[in-house]
Amino acid sequence: MSDFLSLEESAEQLGVSDGQLRSWIKRGLASAARRGGDYTLRTSEVERLRKDPPTTTGDSQEEAGAPQRPRVLPPRSDKNPDSFAGERDRRRRMGRRASDFTLEILHQEIRSAISAALEPILPRLPGAELPPPVTVVEVNNDYEIEALEGRILELEAQNRHQELAREEFRQRLEDSERQRHELDASQRQQIVELEKRLEEAVQSNRNGSDQAVERLTKEVTLERQLRQEALDNAERLRSEIEELQSSGLAVDAERARWGLETRTLQAEIDRLTIMQGSSDQQKRELEQSQQKLGDSDRDLREKDEELRRLREQITSLTYKLQMAGTGATGTSPEESRRLVERLAEAQAEMAEKNELVNQTYAEIGELRSKLDAVQRSHYELQQRHERLKDEWGQLAAQVAAKQMSEHQQQQAPPPPGPGERPKGWGSLFGRRD
pLDDT tens per residue, range 230-244:
899 888 888 888 887
Specify the higher pLDDT residue, 227 or 392.
227
pLDDT, one tens digit per residue, over 30-60 is 888 777 667 888 888 888 888 888 865 544 4
The pLDDT value recorded for residue 16 is 87
pLDDT, one tens digit per residue, over 276-295 is 777 777 778 777 877 877 78
3-state class (DSSP) for residue 353: helix
For residues 349 and 309, the answer to whether their CB atoms sit within 8 Å is no
pLDDT at 133 over 60: no
3-state class (DSSP) for residue 41: strand
The pLDDT value recorded for residue 284 is 80
Q: Tell me how many helices (H) and strands (E) the chain has.
A: 8, 3
pLDDT at 18 over 80: yes
Residue 48: how many CB atoms within 10 A of its CB? 14
Using 50, 70 and 90 to split pLDDT, how confident is the model at 131?
very low
Residue 27: how many CB atoms within 10 A of its CB? 15
In 3-state terms the chain splits into helix, strand, coil percentages (rounded to 5) of 80, 5, 20
Where is average pLDDT lowest: 37-46, 159-168, 182-191, 411-420? 411-420
The pLDDT value recorded for residue 330 is 52
pLDDT, one tens digit per residue, over 416-425 is 555 454 454 4
The pLDDT value recorded for residue 425 is 45
The pLDDT value recorded for residue 246 is 76
Specify the higher pLDDT residue, 403 or 210.
210
pLDDT, one tens digit per residue, over 297-332 is 788 788 778 778 877 877 887 777 677 665 545 556
CA dist., res. 150 & res. 230, Å (int): 109
Where is average pLDDT lowest: 107-111, 212-216, 396-400? 107-111
The pLDDT value recorded for residue 101 is 66
Using 50, 70 and 90 to split pLDDT, how confident is the model at 414?
low
pLDDT at 137 over 50: no
The pLDDT value recorded for residue 129 is 44
The pLDDT value recorded for residue 83 is 64
3-state class (DSSP) for residue 416: coil
- Beta-ladder partners of 4: 42
**Phi and psi at residue 268, to the nearest 5°:** -65, -40
Report the range out of 14-18, 80-84, 90-94, 405-409 with the highest average pLDDT.
Answer: 14-18
Across the chain, mean pLDDT equals 73
Using 50, 70 and 90 to split pLDDT, how confident is the model at 125?
low
Cβ-Cβ contacts under 8 Å for 245 (sequence gap 6 or more): none
Share of the chain above pLDDT 90, in %: 0
The pLDDT value recorded for residue 71 is 46
CA 430 to chain centre: 50
pLDDT at 413 over 70: no
> Within a 13 Å sphere around the CA of 138, how many CA atoms are in the beta-carbon half?
2
Q: How many residues does the chain have?
A: 433
Specify the higher pLDDT residue, 413 or 193.
193
For residues 39 and 61, the answer to whether their CB atoms sit within 8 Å is no
The pLDDT value recorded for residue 343 is 76
The pLDDT value recorded for residue 140 is 44
Using 50, 70 and 90 to split pLDDT, how confident is the model at 333?
low
Using 50, 70 and 90 to split pLDDT, how confident is the model at 410?
low
The pLDDT value recorded for residue 49 is 87
pLDDT at 134 over 60: no
Nearest 10 degrees: Cα torsion 406, 407, 411, 417: -20
Output the pTM of the full model: 0.25
pLDDT at 136 over 60: no
Specify the higher pLDDT residue, 76 or 313.
313
CA dist., res. 113 & res. 156, Å (int): 14
The pLDDT value recorded for residue 286 is 74
